Amino acid sequence: MEHNETSSILRHAAKKAGQMKFFLAEYLSEFRRFRGFSEEEVAQFLGCNAMFISKLSLCRRPQPQSQKFRSDVELNAVAFNIQPSRLVQLIREVEAMKVLCERKLVTQEVPQGLLAVARDITDVELDNDGTVKPVEDGEEEK
């Protein structure tokens, strides 16, 4: 019973932390969204138990630009018994997707994960300077 109370409070905190750049929570939820994963699938990807995801969300996010990036990832990996390479992959993937999103190549709706995104990107017609070519009226129906 007490354990349930703790998990529910941690889950609530993890949700709030998702709105703050400081925590890993934001990246975990973005990764889920991009990949179309459930919480269990994220845990499986990292190689840890799903019950640790809330706590992991409340960790300080390792900054790839920082000199401490490697040691921070390792500390997280040891604490949660996860694969360091998977955590790095998750962080890098989210960072890459964020850059892509900022360039407006990807819409907010990503129902089928990265494959769907990749497919969308190859379908987009680009101008010479690499920006998305605007669709002319009626062109969509061609």
23 forms bridges with which residues in the sheet? 60
Contacts of 82 (CB under 8 A, 6+ apart): 46, 47, 48, 56, 76
Q: Which of 33, 47, 58, 113 binds another protein (CB under 8 A)?
A: 58
H-helix segments, 21-135: 25-35, 39-46, 53-57, 69-80, 84-102, 113-123
Place of tokens 């349930």: 4
Q: Give 46 or 106: the residue with its C-beta nearer to another protein.
A: 46
Q: Does 68 bind another protein (CB under 8 A)?
A: yes
Q: Does 50 bind another protein (CB under 8 A)?
A: no
Q: Give 30 or 72: the residue with its C-beta nearer to another protein.
A: 72
Number of residues that bind another protein (CB under 8 A): 25
- Interface region with another protein, contact rule CB under 8 A, candidates 20-28, 37-45, 95-103, 105-113: 20-28
